[in-house]
Chains A and B, each alone.
Chain A
Amino acid sequence: AQSVSQHNHHVILSEAASLELGCNYSYGGTVNLFWYVQYPGQHLQLLLKYFSGDPLVKGIKGFEAEFIKSKFSFNLRKPSVQWSDTAEYFCAVNAREAGNMLTFGGGTRLMVKP
């Protein structure tokens, strides 16, 4: 069974700092990869997704993620965070041979200080 690890549980940054959130998964087959964000009081929203092709994926609000197959990683990055990026971020994996279920990491809570 696949599993997803997000090693940073809490991250605190100042505005304009760069962000990188780690995501590693364990599954040897083909995967689809997702980052979702949950802003305070709001529902889970899709930030970006990777199915195939260019391993560098661009999403909404200036976020991007890079799929490194050899490292089983899909780290989320943003060059300059804003206070409005304060939220909880979830990495999720769908192992294609295992159907359409998503396996989520435990989440990273990001706080951006103004």
Chain B
Amino acid sequence: DAGVTQSPTHLIKTRGQQVTLRCSPKSGHDTVSWYQQALGQGPQFIFQYYEEEERQRGNFPDRFSGHQFPNYSSELNVNALLLGDSALYLCASSSPGGLQETQYFGPGTRLLVL
């Protein structure tokens, strides 16, 4: 039973470029959440996708956008990269649990913006 997978594992970009990160949820899960983890900090919620729609969004600018596909996999896109976007980007998947939902995390994509 595969867990949450993410690609690529590492990425180096320059300021102003655009990046796309990918996530496949755990088998049986249909909800995907994205988090940004800066060095030395806890993860911060970016947004969550369910039924191919953005269901909830954290305090991130419109440069951060996403997509969910019919097979429940998801992409995170970041436009006009800034140095401060350098971080570990985590994907978490879950199945709808009403008020009791547990999120399971992937290994992350480490993005370095130069």
Inter-chain contact A101/B104, CB cutoff 8 Å = no
| Interfacial chain B residues near A75, Cβ < 8 Å | none
Kindly list 12 other residue pairs between chains A and B, CB separation below 8 angstroms, not including A34-B102, A102-B103.
A32-B99, A32-B100, A43-B108, A99-B56, A101-B48, A101-B56, A102-B43, A102-B45, A104-B35, A105-B42, A107-B40, A107-B42
Question: Which residues of chain A are within 8 angstroms of B45 by Cβ–Cβ distance?
Answer: 101-103
CB-based contact B43/A43 at 8 Å: no
Knowing A36-B105, A99-B55, the reply to whether A104 touches B44 (Cβ < 8 A) is yes
Asked if A46 meets B56 with Cβ closer than 8 Å, knowing A99-B48, A100-B31, the reply is no
Is B74 in contact with chain A by the CB < 8 A criterion? no
Q: Are B56 and A100 in contact (CB under 8 A)?
A: yes
A51 at the interface (CB under 8 A from B): yes
Which residue from chain A places its CB closest to the CB of B44 in the assembled complex? A104
A36 to B55, CA, bound (A): 24
Interface string of A1-36 (1 = CB under 8 A from B): 000101000000000000000000000001010101
Interface centre among B56, B94, B101 (most CB of A within 10 A): B101
